[in-house]
Amino acid sequence: MINKEKIHPLLQGPVQSRDGIRGIERPRGLLDALQEDNEHLRSLAGMHIVSARQFDRNQILQLSRLAASYETQPDLIHPPLRGKILVSAFYEPSTRTRLSFESAWHRLGGDIMSITDPATTGIAKGESLADVGEMFNNYGDVVVLRDNSEDSVYSMLDSLRIPIINAGNGIDEHPTQALADIYAILKWYPSFGREDLPEDKKVIIGVIGTPNRMRTVRSLLLLLSLFSNSIKKVYIVNPSTDLFDAEQQEELEGAGLKIEVIHKLRDVLPEIDVVYINSIAWVGDSYETLTGDIKLTSESNLKPNSIILHPLARGEELDPSLDKTEHNWYFSQARGAVFIRMALLTCLVHRINLVVDSPVDQPEEQ
Amino acid sequence: MINKEKIHPLLQGPVQSRDGIRGIERPRGLLDALQEDNEHLRSLAGMHIVSARQFDRNQILQLSRLAASYETQPDLIHPPLRGKILVSAFYEPSTRTRLSFESAWHRLGGDIMSITDPATTGIAKGESLADVGEMFNNYGDVVVLRDNSEDSVYSMLDSLRIPIINAGNGIDEHPTQALADIYAILKWYPSFGREDLPEDKKVIIGVIGTPNRMRTVRSLLLLLSLFSNSIKKVYIVNPSTDLFDAEQQEELEGAGLKIEVIHKLRDVLPEIDVVYINSIAWVGDSYETLTGDIKLTSESNLKPNSIILHPLARGEELDPSLDKTEHNWYFSQARGAVFIRMALLTCLVHRINLVVDSPVDQPEEQ
Amino acid sequence: MINKEKIHPLLQGPVQSRDGIRGIERPRGLLDALQEDNEHLRSLAGMHIVSARQFDRNQILQLSRLAASYETQPDLIHPPLRGKILVSAFYEPSTRTRLSFESAWHRLGGDIMSITDPATTGIAKGESLADVGEMFNNYGDVVVLRDNSEDSVYSMLDSLRIPIINAGNGIDEHPTQALADIYAILKWYPSFGREDLPEDKKVIIGVIGTPNRMRTVRSLLLLLSLFSNSIKKVYIVNPSTDLFDAEQQEELEGAGLKIEVIHKLRDVLPEIDVVYINSIAWVGDSYETLTGDIKLTSESNLKPNSIILHPLARGEELDPSLDKTEHNWYFSQARGAVFIRMALLTCLVHRINLVVDSPVDQPEEQ
């Protein structure tokens, strides 16, 4: 007989089921807490999604509700994007974000064409970005673009006749990642979406990152400002100074966000309800890491019941010893990112009426 | 409040609709002008498409008619290629042609597998091209191949049991690009397809390029020769001499094309009805550019109502100042390329009967 | 007229039909010879497929039967994997195996996301393999992985909640290639699946390769050991010594396989019924070739009616002069590999009941 003892233990039975946090209780709770109101989604039809500034609070709540609906019933009987084509253009390498979008589009029933190797693109051949946009018009129904330049996506807006989603433009923005972050917070604490929370029910958020050099952080702060009434304070935790662009902090505070810059994580960690950590900062085309005391482990003095978010991929700053604790909401955040993208894509492609119970009048599809 | 003034103007509303030239009036006009006669498409079933020499005039007219049908109704209710697999093999980098074919195949309802990185191919592993062809037989229903060698596609014909489309073989040919060029001309001037045009209704075509070194030009001239009765003259505009291979010019003139070589564009530009421009010439694996007076701008002395075609990507030879003029048919040409490829692919895969009103007897699908 | 004589002969008519060996008589014969018993396939639902040790004889027979069923009717009217997503992760370059899996998944109606460029993966960004596994959980329903490290696939088992198929892990194993090899043998000789063959009906198998350094050979020998009662002897043909890992030969012999190491192919070739040849051995990241008398041509002293298998791509060791002989079963082997993978994938994704006549009770889909 073949020596069955040589078979790895984890090959001896079928794969194990998911655990609770990544199950459907949380999205179901969000569905119950939020009233459906698809009027707010109507305005997303045919829009480019480039900056987190474009969203209002109601859109985010309704997108999250639709995402929760998808998360509780992921197998769609009538996929709404059948026959639609996504151009997946990642001029800057990515696996997570690209697969997240592609998975979302596939689950909605659509088809995908990928551009993943910069050496084969129009840009490499010297084409103008306006011409690249014109080309995309002919081939697909939506473009998702990641590029290491802040300007590329903006340079294409004039020629594009199909919606484009910014999946990361240099150090500028990454709006759908911020949507995924808010969706995770809402699943954890649906009341975050209310406007009338008493002071003792508001949350303290800690952002370990660099607001003027991390696109994830820049977009997240913009979206958090829409929920200022539910936030007691936002700590920006960073050993450096010079963390904001001109007017960046003023704009956020003008929108109602209370911001406090802290240099040592240890000083405030026990107060924080939502710990957002992202230690990698773009400087040109290379990475730099925040050093010092920025590292979360199961030994860190986290507030009980607090949650940790991280856009992933992670490095040393977020230790695996936290993976099996209740603080681990970064895996759920990654999982939910597919569903919030499904919600957004559904709305962009004018198909909201195919997936909701109360259809709305939509602008004519172009 | 978030500072809404920081939102780019083009993000403040949904994407804008297409303009007229790229609308459906032109393809509809072509549908009216050409009688449907699908017998001519029957002979394309199961064929390899490697050289423009393989087509006859009636096939091109009927393919264009089918393309126009697709262009006026792009959302197919019953996609005819559902369940069919395309092997998209681009051993030579390309974005436009690859996305054009993949978009066409997706819109027909089929699935796609891509080989885009030469380093992962059979060729890189030392496999013979005959073995690569044999491999493709197992995996797909059609192959589209681009390679920087003229011989590769021919070397695979003996082992292939599924149709292959040449998407560019070195400097030799690019038949489907030429089909797209003719389709654009027919949409602009449906009478181009007639055999009995009086002399004053015939067109003068100017080809700015190098017939013996540009595959697009080589294929286009072969197809134009089929329409000799509608062409007063073809100017080949090029500062060089030695522009034709042995017998190339004789073969075209023998087919009825009147060719005149001109060295300065300025001398003839005001006479030309269809200006075809492509300034990039393959020399080994590098590019060389035609210099001198070969450059079109809105200041050029173009004939009124003349049209410009360019296979794209473009460089300095075709100035963006022409984009918003009526001469701009290069964007429409790119758009139409998807539909003419849809037409061709439908015929190759024996599915013509699923998309036309008057079905034809087809050879048994292999 | 265009010079039609310049059109290559093979472009003058539609593609030629397949020949007999690659037709459907053989799989049909296997369907007749094997009784359907899908209980044995039930246990594959939700399983990781990493090592050939995981299979038992009945599973292989029923998988082969299902593969034969697919091979005789490749166009599925109700594709069973519609809505399911495959993550095709080839961290080590491959065209054949990747296209084989992707073709299988497409023919089953599913969608695919590819990771083909190591420079864009999680691993390149320094993510742990556990995190990569966690990521895959969110994006797809099955992962197929090829990597040049033996350990990667095992490192992901703990975090994966979706099945993973090992498409080659360093020099360790390649279980689905071995399944394809057995499927080819069964199509050639269905009685190979019986347990009661008289001595003179058993087969002699020759494996030209390196058992401890070729993953294809390692997996194949493990599966052959399940059919020991139908095998008179297995020759391992190799000019070297030191061909087995510690206990590798003992384990196979303990399972009933009679193994004899031979250094010169010529000495035994006329006895061999099934010649399996694979001359490429991984040593680190480079290739080494078996030299000497290991080369099969139409002049080799092959036993009449013997068959040759080769996982392909092939080099000089298997001469094209054999392609048109009856010994050529390597093309059929490649063709069948798609169908055996379709069978395996159907079972993994719990969809066996959609494609068989006698449904079985399945474990709850996770």
**Helix (H, G, I), strand (E, B), or coil: what is residue C238?**
coil
Q: Answer whether C95 sits within 8 Å of B120, measured CB to CB.
A: yes
Name which of A68, A53, A58, A61 is nearest A223 in CA terms.
Answer: A53
- Residue C155 is predicted with a pLDDT of 92
Cα angle vertex B110, ends B179, A111, to 5°?
Answer: 105
What 8-state DSSP symbol labels residue B333? H
> DSSP readout, A122-144?
TTTTT--HHHHHHHHHHH-SEEE
The structure tokens 């020769």 sit at B225
Provide the CA A257 distance to its chain's centre, in angstroms: 20
What integer is the mean pLDDT of B232-236?
98
CA distance B38 to B59: 9
State whether B122 and C313 contact (CB < 8 Å). yes
Question: What is the distance between the alpha carbons of residues C309 and A25, in angstroms, rounded to a whole number?
Answer: 52
Q: Is the predicted pLDDT of residue C22 greater than 70, yes or no?
A: no
Q: Chain C interface, mutation test: which of A71, A81, A106, A316, most C Cβ atoms within 10 Å?
A: A106
- B85, B127, B222 ranked by CB distance to C313: nearest: B127
Say yes or no for a CB contact (<8 Å) between B117 and C117.
Answer: yes
State how far residue A10 is from chain C, nearest Cα, in angstroms: 7
Query: What angle, 0 to 180 degrees and rounded to 10, lies between the N-to-C axes of helices A57-72 and A175-188?
Result: 70
Return the structure tokens found at C335.
């063709």
Instruction: Give the separation between CA B115 and CA B140, rounded to whole angstroms.
Output: 12
Query: The whole model's pTM is what?
Result: 0.92
Banded pLDDT at B65 (limits 50, 70, 90): very high
- Are the C-beta atoms of A101 and A167 separated by less than 8 Å? yes
**Rounded to whole angstroms, how far apart are CA atoms A164 and A136?**
10
Give me the interface pTM, i.e. the ipTM. Answer: 0.90
CB-CB neighbors (< 8 A) of A348 in chain B: none
Is A62:A38 a contact under the CB 8 Å cutoff?
A: yes
Q: Examine residue C255 and say whether the peptide bond preceding it is cis (omega within 30 degrees of 0).
A: no
Q: Which of A85, A120, A137 sits opposite B93 (nearest CB)?
A: A120
A221 torsion bin: left (phi>0), alpha (psi -120 to 50), beta (else): alpha
Residue (of B109, B77, B156) closest to B345 by Cα position: B109
Q: Do C320 and B128 touch (CB under 8 A)?
A: yes
Residue B274: closest CA among B185, B358, B202, B191? B185
As a dihedral over the C-alpha atoms of residue C21, residue C24, residue C25, residue C31, rounded to 10 degrees, the angle is: 130
What structural domains does chain B harbor? 26-173+337-355 (3.40.50.1370), 175-334 (3.40.50.1370)
Count interface pairs A-B at CB distance under 8 A. Answer: 118
A258 residue type, one letter: K
Strand order in the sheet with A203-208: A259-262, A231-237, A203-208, A274-277, A307-309
AA identity, residue C246 = A
Return the H-helix or E-strand segment holding A280. strand A280-283
Pairwise CB contact (< 8 Å): A14 & C46? yes
Neighbours of B221 (CB within 10 A): 27
Mutate to test the interface with A, among C138, C143, C257, C349 (most CBs of A within 10 A): C138
For chain B, which residues lie within 8 Å of any Cβ of chain A, measuring from their own Cβ?
1-4, 6-8, 10-11, 13-18, 75-76, 79, 90, 93-96, 99-100, 102-103, 106-107, 109, 112, 114, 116-117, 312-315, 320, 331, 334-335, 337-338
State the chains in contact with A (3 or more Cβ–Cβ pairs under 8 Å): B, C
Residue B158 neighbours by CB distance under 10 Å: 13
Highest mean pLDDT among B342-351, B354-363, C222-231: C222-231
pLDDT of B289 strictly over 70: no
Which residue in C has a C-alpha nearest to residue A75's C-alpha? C83
Q: What is the mean pLDDT of chain C?
A: 89
B163 interaction partners in chain C (CB closer than 8 Å):
14-15
Quote the Cα angle for B128-B132-B133, to 5°. Answer: 115
Q: Which residue, chain included where needed, has tokens 């050029």? A: B300
pLDDT of A122 reads 36
- Residues with Cβ within 8 Å of B9's Cβ and at least 6 positions away in sequence, in order, are none
Measured distance CA(B115)–CA(B127) in Å, rounded: 15
| pLDDT tens digits for range B254-265 | 999 999 999 889
Residue indicated by tokens 């992670």: A314
Contact flag C107-B117 (C-beta cutoff 8 Å): no
Please state the rounded mean pLDDT for residues C308-332: 93
CB-CB under 8 Å, C138 with A335: yes
β-sheet bridge partners, residue A206: A235, A275
User: In this model, does residue C366 exceed pLDDT 70?
Assistant: no
- C-alpha B225/C-alpha C172 separation (Å) is 59
- Cα-flanking dihedrals φ and ψ of residue C93, to 5°? -60, 145
- Count Cβ atoms within 10 A of the Cβ of residue A247 and give its class: 0-12 exposed, 13-18 middle, 19 or more buried: exposed
A299 Cβ contact partners less than 8 Å away, ≥ 6 residues apart: A321
Residue A180 Cα distances to A49, A204, A319, A344, C204, angstroms: 14, 19, 22, 11, 60
- Report residue B60 CA to chain centroid gap: 12
Beta-carbon contacts of residue B365 (< 8 Å; ≥ 6 apart): B45, B46, B350
Partners for C (CB, 8 Å, 3+ pairs)? Answer: A, B
Residue C229 exposure: Cα atoms within 13 Å on the Cβ side: 10
**pLDDT at residue A5 in the model:** 83
Put simply, the answer to whether C11 touches B83 (Cβ < 8 Å) is: no
Mapped onto helix, strand or coil, the DSSP state of residue A58 is: helix
Q: Contacts of residue C246 in chain A, CB cutoff 8 Å?
A: none
Among B294, B301, B306, which residue's Cα sits nearest to residue B330?
Answer: B306
Chain B contact set for C121 (CB, 8 A): none
Residue type for C70, please? Answer: Y
Closest approach of chain C CAs to the CA of A258, in angstroms? 34
pLDDT at B125 over 90: no
Subunits with 3+ Cβ pairs within 8 Å of B are A, C
Chain C contact set for B251 (CB, 8 A):
2-3, 6
Q: What is residue A271's three-state secondary structure?
A: helix
3-state class (DSSP) for residue C231: strand
- Alpha carbons C274 and C257: distance in angstroms, whole number: 15
Average pLDDT, stretch C110-133?
Answer: 72
B19-43 residue pLDDT tens: 544 578 999 999 999 999 999 999 9
User: Are residues C161 and A17, on separate chains, in Cβ contact within 8 Å?
Assistant: yes
Check CB contact under 8 Å for B1 and A127. no
User: C99 and B137: CB-CB below 8 Å?
Assistant: no
Side chain identity, residue A154: Y
The number of angstroms, rounded, from the C-alpha of B172 to the middle of its chain's C-alpha atoms is 14
Q: Which pLDDT score, from 0 to 100, does residue C2 have? A: 75
Inter-chain CB pairs, B–C, below 8 Å: 117
The answer to whether residue B216 scores a pLDDT higher than 70 is yes
Best mutation target among C102, C112, C125, C352 (most A Cβ atoms within 10 Å) is C125
Contact between B134 and C334 using a beta-carbon 8 Å cutoff:
yes
C-beta atoms of A314 and C139 within 8 A: no
List average pLDDT for each run of 10 residues in chain A, which is 366 residues long: 84 73 82 94 95 97 97 88 94 89 97 74 62 93 93 93 95 97 98 96 96 96 98 94 94 97 93 89 44 80 97 89 96 96 95 69 49
Note the pLDDT tens digit of each residue in C42-85.
Answer: 999 999 999 999 999 999 999 999 999 999 987 888 899 999 99
Minimal CA separation from C111 to chain B, in Å: 9
What is the per-residue pLDDT across B153-179, written as a single tens digit (0 to 9) for each? Answer: 999 999 999 999 999 999 999 999 999
Neighbour count for residue A313 (Cβ, 10 Å): 20
Query: What token pair was written down for C77?
Result: 């009217």
Instruction: Report the residue from B8, B76, B90 with minimal CB separation from A50.
Output: B8
What pLDDT does residue B16 have? 76
Count of beta carbons in the 10 Å neighbourhood of residue A35 = 9
Residue in C76, C90, C100 closest to B139 by CB: C100
Contact B335 A137 (CB under 8 A): yes
- Which is nearest to A233 in space by CA: A264, A211, A254, A202? A202
- Across A111-115, B184-188, B336-340, C275-279, least confident range: C275-279
Task: Judge contact between A365 and A61, C-beta under 8 A.
Answer: no
What DSSP character marks residue B299?
A: T
Share of chain B above pLDDT 90, in %: 72
Q: Which of A59, A27, A56 is nearest to A186 (CA)?
A: A27
The distance of C253 to chain B (nearest Cα, Å) reads 35
